[in-house]
Amino acid sequence: MRLRSVESRAIRLPRDIGAATGRAGSPTTLGAGESSYRWSTVFPCLYSTDFETALVRIETTDGVVGWGEAQAPLAPEVACSIVDRLLKPILENQEFQPDAEGIAAWWDRMYSAMRVRGQNGGFMIDAISAVDIALWDLAGKFAGKPVCELLSATPKRKIPAYYSGLPAAGRAEAAARAIGDGFDKFKLFFDTPEAAAFLASMDELPAASYAVDALWRHTPESAVVFGRELDARSALWFEAPLAPEDAVEHGKLARAIRTPVGLGESYRTRFELAPFFRERAVGVLQPDLGRCGITVGMRIAALASGPVVPHLSIAFGPQIAAALHFAAAAANCDLAEFNPSVLETANRFLREPIRMEGAAYIVPRTPGLGIDILTG
């Protein structure tokens, strides 16, 4: 079998940024400006006022189509350009072995394409991950099996979900409604200027289990103080507490508090995560399938000593489905991130929606990723 065509598509959809604030892709209030890319008012990071992602479509000479997606909440054209200029020429008209061994061989080959030039992370791996997801979709379709059954002999059928990013306005009321829908686990963004104010607002929420995403805002000293406050509140985990490059300080923090440290969304390979594993800094591993792909997602999950909970931010169907098949196959994964507005947007472009049953995802059961994107 040969890969006949490889196409990329940058997606940009307008959204109500006010309604999206506090949720995936817009965890904080954004500054004013004319550009669609604006600074957070809380910490130095850019966000988009639009819903942005990058899709990859691969078709074989047999006419079978596989879909993939890169995590690209800003500038999806960058990942698309890498696909078009660097990956497409080495993929098109090449033989493809539709199984784990064949896909791993292609991942390693794509990774090697620019490795000696130092392009072994960032946008390059985002683009490779989109292709990797599409190749897994093809492999499942050729085998007549969902991807999770190619990854595991005993995949899960449902994945419990935690509710991510309660809206900034009416947070307690929104939590109460979600609890009524069956959710008992939530993630909060540390989106206020002062830790004391945030912790006070956390104490006003309905009884449930809460994780906190600190958005990389803490110093080593303030992280310990804040982490011990989370200990007292039996937090699920303390996500992204320190500068993402600092493995040593993350290790020190993990040893100073009881709350597990959550890490993973910023790292794309086992090489990038290796210092954090050496420092025993990773309490909850949070790989983003749009940044690491299914192949590397499974590789790094095998290295985790604790639970694995895939990170899921701005995403269309391929990314969400990839995360669910990964979660269904990884033995140490029993939870996935859920953002209602993201799933609602993704489902608008699918022939059959990705379904929830109460507070759990239903893993797609049709061959491949189990999704079919509407292209009309």
Number of domains in the chain: 2
- The residue written with tokens 């799933």 in the block is 343
Which regions of the chain are under pLDDT 50?
none
The two beta strands, 3-14 and 356-357, are unpaired
- Output the pLDDT for position 8: 98
Point out the domain boundary residue: 112, 128, 144.
Answer: 144
- Are 255 and 228 a contacting pair, CB within 8 Å? no
- Output the pLDDT for position 165: 81
CA triple 218-240-29, angle to 5 deg = 75
Q: What is the pLDDT of residues 58-81, one digit of tens each?
A: 999 999 999 999 999 999 999 999
- Output the pLDDT for position 376: 64
Look at residue 233 and tell me if it is in a domain.
yes
- Output the pLDDT for position 21: 85
Q: Which domain holds residue 84?
A: 3-144
- Output the pLDDT for position 25: 79
Residue 338 sits in the same domain as residue 213: yes
- Output the pLDDT for position 264: 98
Computed from CA positions of residues 242, 337, 12, 113, in that sequence, does the dihedral angle turn out positive or negative? positive
Look at residue 374 and tell me if it is in a domain.
no
- Output the pLDDT for position 119: 97
- Output the pLDDT for position 269: 98
Point out the domain boundary residue: 144, 178, 213.
Answer: 144
- Output the pLDDT for position 62: 96
Token pair, residue 253, equals: 């923090």
Q: What is the pLDDT of residues 334-359, one digit of tens each?
A: 999 999 999 999 999 999 999 999 99
Look at residue 325 and tell me if it is in a domain.
yes
Look at residue 308 and tell me if it is in a domain.
yes
Residue 140 sits in the same domain as residue 219: no
Look at residue 102 and tell me if it is in a domain.
yes
Computed from CA positions of residues 80, 85, 86, 88, in that sequence, does the dihedral angle turn out positive or negative? positive
Q: What is the pLDDT of residues 157-195, one digit of tens each?
A: 999 999 998 887 889 999 999 999 999 999 999 998 899
Which CATH number covers residue 10? 3.30.390.10
Residues 6+ apart with CB under 8 A from 63: none
Cα 9 to Cα 203, 310, 312: the distances in Å are 44, 24, 20
Residue 119 sits in the same domain as residue 238: no
Token pair, residue 180, equals: 């009524």
Q: Which amino acid is at 73?
A: P
Which residue blocks in 113-170 are alpha helix, DSSP H? Answer: 122-143, 147-151
Token pair, residue 351, equals: 């022939």
Point out the domain boundary residue: 122, 144, 166.
Answer: 144
